[in-house]
Amino acid sequence: MKIKFCTLIEDKKRVDMYLSVLFKDFSRSYIQKIIDKWEVSINWKIISKNLKIKNKDLIEIDIKVEKNEKVEAEDLNLDVVFEDENIIIINKEAWINTHPVPWEWWNSNTLVNGVLFHCKEKLPVISGEERPWIVHRLDKDTSWAIMIAKNDKMMHYLQTLFKERKNISKYYLAIVHWVVKSKDFTIESYIGRDPNNRLKMTTVNSINPKIAISHWEVLGYIQNKFTLVRIKIETWRTHQIRVHMASIGHFILGDTTYWNPKINIECKTRYQLKRQALHAYNLKLKLYEKDESFIAPLKDDMKKLIPDELMKLI
């Protein structure tokens, strides 16, 4: 797999550090190895891992993945929300990759490994192997309800739902900084790539902006300094929820991209929250000609922050 792009940065950065932040599925040691193997070039020149890159440098990466490497079944004790002969819905833990990724342990401890172990019956064949059809993805450090098709027919049906955005809705729970005073509101804006940082999305002077619509409901307050909100997204843009909340000054706790470092440190030390407090908890869709609603309960790290009286409202 070859990747080519130009940098968009303000200050010079070491190439290995820059790439390991840009490609979060790759460890820094993996990045250094492919640089040592001459699989990374800057402006058509072979480079060293401590080279500093600058704005508008052309980076080319050649990532070699063994296509025949078998993905083994692993018992990951999956939290299954619903399952039948065609589909399985899992309440995924944060920090578990959905698919295998090309690094030292690329084919281990992913959702695919866990589903292969869980589904003893036949799965669809992908690239010559029996593999589950993962229908959709979210950020790795978000916990969420994820749908997995067990056969081609269900996969095509679910793909159509996602493509047309009809007969399917996704709802999230988030804990955000400060007290949000408006009880119910809608944020509608254009979101695109941040021209000053290609790792971020923004609502201001963005590159290739697209309309994004989020509907918000305040469920209550935590210690009079955080707010528990429920969100329905009408459009599904990259980082949409995080960007929208940051745009009105209420970033999601634990978010390391659109963040407040001081509050995030407090969340780690006082509340042991080591990831962003965002959970995709409800999927509503048309399934077998019926309107179905599937709930993925909150994970323990977020539940620790929420008082019992608010938990009753979820």
Positions marked active-site: 139
167: number of CA atoms within 13 Å, CB side?
Answer: 13
- The Cα–Cα gap between 90 and 175 comes to 22
Q: How far is CA 293 from CA 87, 130, 169, 172, 214, in A?
A: 14, 29, 9, 13, 20
Radius of gyration of the chain (CA): 21
Strands 184-194, 207-222: pairing kind? antiparallel
Please tell me the distance from the alpha carbon of residue 60 to that of residue 260, in angstroms, as a whole number: 33
Contact status, residue 282 vs residue 297, Cβ threshold 8 Å: no
Q: How far is CA 67 from CA 39, 110, 127, 271, in A?
A: 18, 17, 8, 42
Beta-strand pair 133-134/143-149: antiparallel
